[in-house]
Amino acid sequence: MSAEQDIVTLRARVAELERKLDFLYRKLGIEFFDEPGMVNTQVMALLKKGNKIEAIKLYRDLTNAGLAEAKQAVERMEASIL
């Protein structure tokens, strides 16, 4: 197999694995965060100030999550500080 064929094969395999991961995330109802520490730190800071709505808005902006998903995630974070 040539190097070019190897690259094509690997790209196809990566795409397949990404599809599988996306499926699992949806099925399990979990989110992937590229920078989880940053998201959690900023959202937690707003929650500690009592700004739950702002925390949900920020979470949505940072993660591209829908409203319901963001609300659930922020409420889980909120429960951890109570």
Per-residue model confidence as pLDDT tens digits over 57-73:
999 998 889 999 999 99
User: HSE on the CB side for 21, CA within 13 Å?
Assistant: 8
So where are the chain's domains? 1-30, 34-82
Give me the pLDDT at residue 64, please. 87
Asked if 58 and 43 count as a contact pair (C-beta separation under 8 A), the reply is yes
Q: How many helices (H) and strands (E) does the chain have?
A: 4, 0
pLDDT at 34 over 60: no
pTM of the model: 0.56
Q: Distance between CA atoms of 20 and 78, rounded to whole angstroms?
A: 30
**Eight-state DSSP code of residue 40:** H
- pLDDT tens for 36-48 read 666 788 999 999 9
Share above pLDDT 70 across residues of the chain, in percent, rounded to a whole number: 89
